[in-house]
Amino acid sequence: MRKPKLFFLYALVFLLPLNMACSQEKNNAGGKNPVQGSSVSSGKVLVTNNLDLDFSKHKVTFIELGADNCAPCKAMQPIMREIAEEYAGKIQVVFYDVWKDPQPARHYSIQLIPTQVFIDQNGEEIFRHVGFFPKEKILQMLKEKGIL
């Protein structure tokens, strides 16, 4: 009677995480990241793990630290694309997936995702927000800071 209980415990502890990891890999391998873009200046979101960004070419850099499989992060993706397209040349939009590479999370000292960090042309942080950030609120903040 005791062995079946141990079997289910082992199955739960070892097989469930393995199954979840495999399904996540399958989802990531088959689909393109919805915010992926190759050129920031043409109005695309830069998806990168490179921390050496050139902030001087844009009035502000909007950095989203999140993950592809995080619900509030997914909700931010259309907002990031719209801002990148509507303000190309003025606002650089960058996405770091901190589940794939935790280095950007450490670099920007984040504890929760999504976190949005706004950096000016001098490389100075001008604003930070944690959680879902509606487009209207982002634009309002940028106007208050004199960026738009």
Q: Domain 46-144 has what CATH class? A: alpha beta
* 22 in catalytic set: no
- Model-wide pTM > 0.75: no
Domains of the chain by residue range: 1-31, 46-144
Task: Report the 10 Å Cβ neighbour count for 124.
Answer: 9
**Of 53, 70, 130, 139, catalytic:** 70
What's the pLDDT tens digit per position in 45-59?
999 888 889 999 999
**Cβ atoms 98, 106 nearer than 8 A:** no
**Of 45, 73, 80, 110, catalytic:** 73
What's the pLDDT tens digit per position in 3-48?
555 555 444 444 434 333 333 333 333 344 444 443 334 578 999 8
